[in-house]
Homo-oligomer: A and B are copies of this chain.
Amino acid sequence: MLSTRKTVVFDEGIVLTTGERIAPVTVAYETFGTLNKRKDNAILIVHALTGDSHCAGYYGAADAKPGWWDPLIGPGKAFDTRKYFIICSNDLGGCQGTTGPSSINPATGARYNLSFPVITIRDIVNVQKKLLDHLGIERLLSISGGSMGGMNVLDWAVAYPERVSSVIPVSTCGRLSPQGIAFSEVQRQAIIRDPKWHGGNYDPDDPPADGLAVARMIGHITYLSSESMHLKFGRRKRKAAEPEAKFDEKFEIESYLQYQGSRFVERFDANSYLYLTKAMDFYDIGEGCETFEEGAARMQCKALFIAFRSDWLFTPRETGELVDALRKAGRDVEFHEIESAYGHDAFLVEYPKYAYLLERFLERVHRFYNR
C-alpha cells in the first residue's frame, strides 16, 4: 500500500487551553481508504510519543519499512481500508510536519524553541479536530492509538462525545504513574543538562544529541521488559568495536540501547521531546473532577481496551483501574489483558494476539450504528 504525506495550513491557528494562540498551525497527515458518502466510516489513528502521521504503507519502493502500525492497517487488515477511511496526523508539538517548537515563528522569523507555548493533550486533540473539520468528518466511527496516543484517544471521548462512536485505547491509562513521570523527568534532565541544548536555542545542525540519545536509551528500557531482555539479549557479551571508557567488552543489551539512542537523534527534535513528555505527564482523566472515577465516567462511547501483561510503563493494572470506573458507570467496555513478554512495546509487536479483537469490535460498532 502506498502512502503520501499531505499538509494543511490553518492560518487562524489554534487557541490553546491556556488561552494563548499559535498561528498558523500546519498539520501533516496521511489517509488510507475512502470516505463513504454517509461519511460514517472514518477512523482516526493517533501516534505515540515519538511517532508520526505515517501509520501504514510505504512512501515509495525505496522504503525499507512501512508505517508504524502497518500490520493493522490496510486492505483485509483489522483497520480494513476497503471498509474504513483511516486518518493519522502528526501531533501538535511534534517535529514531523505539524507545528511544534522547531517550527518557524512567523512573528520572529526564527524557530519557536522554548517560546512555543506549553501544550496539553487537549490541545493536541483540538488540532486533530480542526483537521477532521477540514476533511468534512462530523463523527468518527472510532479512534485508536497506543501509549500517549491512547491518552489522546481517551481525551477525545471525554471532550467531544458527540463526535465519537467508539474508542480503542491500547497500552494506556487515565493518568501516568509516578514511576512513569520519574522516567520522563530523567529523560528531560538528560536533554536539558546537555550543554548543547543552550536553553532550548540549539543549532539545528548541532543539537543536544548526547542528551537526546541518553533520553531515548532510558525510554527504550521502559518500552521493553525484564523478561523480553532475558529472551532477546540475556547476558551475552561481544567485543566492543572500539573500547569505550577502556572497557573493551560489552553486553549485547548495551549495544542495542546505544544503537537506538544514536538512530533516534537523526529523526527527533529535543524540544519536541520536552513538550510532548510534559503533555503526557500532566494528562489526567480526572482533572477538574472530584474523583478519577467521575472524570472517567465522562467517557460514554463503546470502548475496547487492550493491555499487555508485561507492560510496566502503562500497566494492565492501571488500564484496569479505568475500565473498572467505566463499568461502574454502566459503560459498554471490553477489556483484554494479553499475555506477552514484550512489555510496553507489545502494542507494536504482538499483532496476531490482538488484531482480531479490533476487527470484531469495529464490526460490532459499525453494525450498531447502521442498524
Contacts and interface: CB of A to CB of B under 8 A. Distances in A.
Interface of A: 114, 118, 175-179, 181-183, 185-186, 188-190, 192-195, 200, 210-211, 213-214, 217-218, 221, 224-226, 229-230, 233-235, 244-247, 250-251, 253-254, 257-258, 261, 274, 278, 281, 284, 312, 315
27 contacts: A114-B245, A114-B246, A177-B226, A178-B234, A179-B221, A179-B224, A179-B229, A181-B235, A181-B253, A181-B254, A182-B229, A182-B257, A183-B221, A185-B217, A185-B250, A185-B253, A186-B217, A186-B218, A189-B261, A190-B190, A192-B244, A192-B245, A200-B245, A200-B246, A247-B274, A247-B278, A251-B281
A141 B125 CA distance: 65
Contacts of A213: 189, 193
For the complex, would chain A's binding face be called helix, strand, loop or mixed by DSSP majority?
A: helix
B235 A284 contact: yes
Contacts of A175: 235
A251 B188 contact: no
A233 B182 CA distance: 10
B274 A245 contact: yes
A183 B257 CA distance: 10
Contacts of A247: 118, 274, 278
Contacts of A186: 214, 217-218, 221, 257
Contacts of A251: 178, 181, 185, 281
A322 to B, nearest CB: 15
Contacts of A200: 245-246
Contacts of A179: 221, 224-226, 229
A281 B189 CA distance: 25
Contacts of A258: 185, 189
Contacts of A182: 221, 224, 229, 253-254, 257
Nearest to A286: B235
A126 B138 CA distance: 74
Contacts of A284: 235
Contacts of A181: 235, 251, 253-254
Given A182-B224, A189-B213, A247-B274, 16 more contacts: A178-B233, A178-B251, A179-B225, A179-B226, A179-B229, A182-B253, A182-B254, A185-B251, A185-B258, A186-B218, A186-B257, A188-B245, A189-B214, A189-B261, A218-B218, A245-B274
A193 B257 CA distance: 14
Contacts of A312: 226
A175 B234 CA distance: 11
A274 B218 CA distance: 17
Nearest to A250: B185
Nearest to A191: B245
Contacts of A274: 245, 247
